[in-house]
Amino acid sequence: MEKVLVKLKDRSYPIYLTREALDDVGSVLRRMDRLEKVVIITDSRVAEMYLESVKRGFHAAGYQVDSIVIPAGEESKSINQVVQIYDRLLDLEVDRKGILAALGGGVVGDITGFVAATYLRGVDYVQIPTTLVAQVDSAIGGKTGVNLSQGKNLVGAFWHPRLVFSDVGVLKTLDQREFIAGLAEVIKYGIIMDSSLFKYLEENADKILSKKEESLYYIVKRCARNKALVVEEDEREESGRRSILNFGHTIGHALEASTNYQGYLHGEAVAIGMVFASKISKNLGFCSNGAVDRIHQLIERYGLPHEQPDLNEDDFDPIIRVDKKMTKGRINFVFVEDIGKVKLEKIDIRDLLIH
């Protein structure tokens, strides 16, 4: 087992990386605290596969264990579901001596984190991410939240977990399309800050696509460290550094919204967004043809979509609504300068569309 630290003064926490050792989470947590009761929050799909072994691990470490199972899927990331979880926690008489454990993908992680941030004005929680998206991105960084009918992630809080426990063994049961969509976020780290990771992805596509454990372990560890570095520099998205994580996401979000969140998985929309953002970067003279070609080829190699998106100005409305730094139609946009290097600049939405 290895450890990556997210260094945030008194909010610092470790990310543990393991293979095929999910039930160790109980003993790892036990070394850090003296809490008595754990409530595992998971979704119906993950529960079938992994709830028993995680429960066993917590029991063995001396915790009293309860669980709450929510339906699998993005629809569960709602205020209504939050209220149902509060009700269950009150029924289970969970007080501040209890700790929540989010066992699942980004949906379970985001809603559990939000419940932890708000229940009894804040209780502890741990993240046990089981999707690639969650292991490389959503479980790290303390952004929690739920969706409203008006848009995604409109209600939330920054609330860091006590620890993150990522077992790459669980990725083997992940649906291949979900897995590949998660790889878009991995490729993103290569482009924005880690040219060695990018090269590794170029050279090891077969191993990664066939989910060889050592390569999964390598990419998850590398991305966890990258995300930790960005979060350490800009914990609450104030200095702008954290915005580099939005590379490919402006176009990706617009595409998801324009297809009513039905056409693409998030990572697939981000892949299209990354190819498009690189082409715009080249057209504006920020980066070379060579870098753009490598990005395009890598995304294609992993079987991710890369077609030219068909968007109009209105498709950006959901982004504009939440981008508080936007002025007169200009949005913050992440441009590529080279593999491993990006820069943030404002651009007019209409200029985006003519490229």
Report, as residue numbers or ranges, the catalytic residues.
121, 143, 185, 227, 237, 242, 246, 249, 253, 266
Q: Which is nearer to ligand NAD, 174 or 272 (CB)?
A: 174
Question: Taking CB under 6 A as the rule, does residue 232 contact ligand NAD?
Answer: no
Select the residue interacting with ligand NAD from 174, 270, 334, 349 (CB under 6 A): 174
Show the tokens assigned to 336.
Answer: 């590529």
What residue is closest to ligand NAD based on CB?
Answer: 106
Distance CA 345, CA 299 (A): 24
Count the residues in the chain.
355
Show the tokens assigned to 16.
Answer: 């543990």
Distance CA 126, CA 116 (A): 10
Question: Taking CB under 6 A as the rule, does residue 127 contact ligand NAD?
Answer: no
Question: Taking CB under 6 A as the rule, does residue 234 contact ligand NAD?
Answer: no
Helix ranges (H only) for the chain are 25-30, 44-46, 52-60, 79-91, 106-118, 132-133, 176-193, 195-203, 205-209, 213-233, 249-258, 266-283, 289-301, 317-322, 349-353
Question: Taking CB under 6 A as the rule, does residue 268 contact ligand NAD?
Answer: no
Select the residue interacting with ligand NAD from 8, 11, 53, 74 (CB under 6 A): 74
Q: Which stretch, 116-124, 133-141, 159-167, 300-308, contacts ligand NAD (CB under 6 A)? A: 133-141
Q: Which stretch, 98-106, 216-224, 271-279, 333-341, contacts ligand NAD (CB under 6 A)? A: 98-106
- Angle, helices 176-193 vs 213-233, to 10°: value is 50
Q: Which is nearer to ligand NAD, 70 or 292 (CB)?
A: 70
Q: Which stretch, 94-102, 170-178, 212-220, 307-315, contacts ligand NAD (CB under 6 A)? A: 170-178
Query: Which residues lie closer than 8 Å to 89 by C-beta, 6 or more apart?
Result: 39, 68, 98, 115, 119
Q: Which is nearer to ligand NAD, 155 or 347 (CB)?
A: 155
Show the tokens assigned to 115.
Answer: 């419940």
Query: Which residues lie closer than 8 Å to 343 by C-beta, 6 or more apart?
Result: 286, 334, 335, 337
Question: Taking CB under 6 A as the rule, does residue 131 contact ligand NAD?
Answer: yes
Question: Taking CB under 6 A as the rule, does residue 102 contact ligand NAD?
Answer: no
Q: Which is nearer to ligand NAD, 55 or 143 (CB)?
A: 143
21-to-16, 161, 298, 350 alpha-carbon distances in Å: 11, 20, 31, 50
Distance CA 261, CA 218 (A): 31
Q: Which stretch, 16-24, 103-111, 273-281, 322-330, contacts ligand NAD (CB under 6 A)? A: 103-111
Q: Which is nearer to ligand NAD, 105 or 305 (CB)?
A: 105
Question: Taking CB under 6 A as the rule, does residue 143 contact ligand NAD?
Answer: yes
- Say if CB 15 and CB 140 are below 8 A apart: yes
Q: Which stretch, 45-53, 215-223, 253-261, 345-353, contacts ligand NAD (CB under 6 A)? A: 45-53
Select the residue interacting with ligand NAD from 14, 104, 248, 305 (CB under 6 A): 104
Question: Taking CB under 6 A as the rule, does residue 274 contact ligand NAD?
Answer: no
Distance CA 244, CA 189 (A): 9
Sites of contact with ligand NAD (CB under 6 A): 43, 45-46, 49, 72-74, 77, 104-108, 110, 130-131, 133-134, 137-138, 141, 143, 152-153, 170, 173-174, 178
